């Protein structure tokens, strides 16, 4: 197990989590937003990574806590992390709700990938109450990180399953 703190360019806060998988272009961590909470997965575009540090010694209390949590996980994330198009195409095929962080960490775009092109994709955005906002064309190169399976996103997914006519 590796516990990492990752500095992303133009983002003041470090992203902390357990290293899950890594490819040529992307790295997945199970994110640790606060204390010993693990909430979803964050997929980070390696182009925007400024530094990666392993902050804890293996005999530290914090490391031992996360090691226990890591051993209890049974994760099999089947993402292709070597190309942008392959990663985003996965989300199109699965119709999964994701959060995207672009240039600013002040906001996250939430929605679903509706169509993938060679260098960009259409992203159907939804609001905080599950309503359709608009569809935007986003370039792969603008994505700093992708969030999946967070409590927030799972809550919205459950709502959309119960009320599917919202995203007509």
**What average pLDDT does the segment 10-18 reach?**
93
Beta strand 3-8 with 15-22 is antiparallel
pLDDT of residue 155: 94
pLDDT, tens digit, 9 for 90 and up, residues 23-68: 999 999 999 999 999 999 999 999 999 999 998 888 999 899 998 9
User: Reduced to 3 states, what is the DSSP secondary structure of residue 37?
Assistant: coil
User: Reduced to 3 states, what is the DSSP secondary structure of residue 117?
Assistant: coil
Q: What is the C-alpha to C-alpha distance for residues 139 and 159, in angstroms, rounded to an integer? A: 28
**Counting Cβ atoms within 10 Å, is residue 50 exposed (0-12), middle (13-18) or buried (19+)?**
exposed
Q: What is the C-alpha to C-alpha distance for residues 133 and 127, in angstroms, rounded to an integer? A: 6
pLDDT of residue 79: 84
Q: What is the C-alpha to C-alpha distance for residues 123 and 138, in angstroms, rounded to an integer? A: 7
Enumerate the domain spans of the chain.
Answer: 3-167
pLDDT, tens digit, 9 for 90 and up, residues 125-145: 999 888 889 999 999 999 999
**pTM of structure:** 0.91
pLDDT of residue 167: 57
What does the mean pLDDT of the chain come to? 92
User: Reduced to 3 states, what is the DSSP secondary structure of residue 155?
Assistant: helix
Rounded CA Rg of the chain: 16
Count of Cβ atoms closer than 10 Å to residue 164 Cβ: 9
CATH code for the domain defined by 3-167 = 2.30.30.600
pLDDT, tens digit, 9 for 90 and up, residues 143-160: 999 999 999 999 999 998
The pair of three-digit structure tokens given for residue 111, joined into one six-digit string: 């929605």
């Amino acid at each position: 197990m590796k516990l990492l703190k990752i500095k992303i360019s133009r983002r003041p806060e470090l992203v902390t989590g357990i290293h899950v998988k890594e490819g040529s272009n992307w790295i997945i961590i199970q994110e640790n937003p606060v204390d010993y909470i693990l909430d979803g997965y964050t997929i980070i575009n390696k182009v925007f990574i400024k530094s990666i540090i392993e902050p804890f010694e293996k005999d530290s209390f914090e490391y031992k806590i996360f090691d226990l949590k890591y051993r209890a996980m049974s994760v099999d994330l089947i993402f292709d992390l070597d190309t942008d198009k392959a990663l985003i195409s996965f989300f199109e095929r699965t119709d999964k709700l994701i959060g995207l962080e672009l240039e600013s960490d002040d906001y996250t775009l939430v929605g679903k990938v509706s169509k993938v092109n060679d260098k960009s994709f259409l992203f159907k955005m939804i609001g905080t109450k599950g309503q359709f906002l608009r569809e935007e064309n986003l370039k792969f190169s603008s994505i700093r990180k992708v969030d999946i399976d967070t409590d927030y996103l799972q809550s919205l997914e459950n709502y959309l399953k119960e009320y599917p006519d919202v995203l007509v």
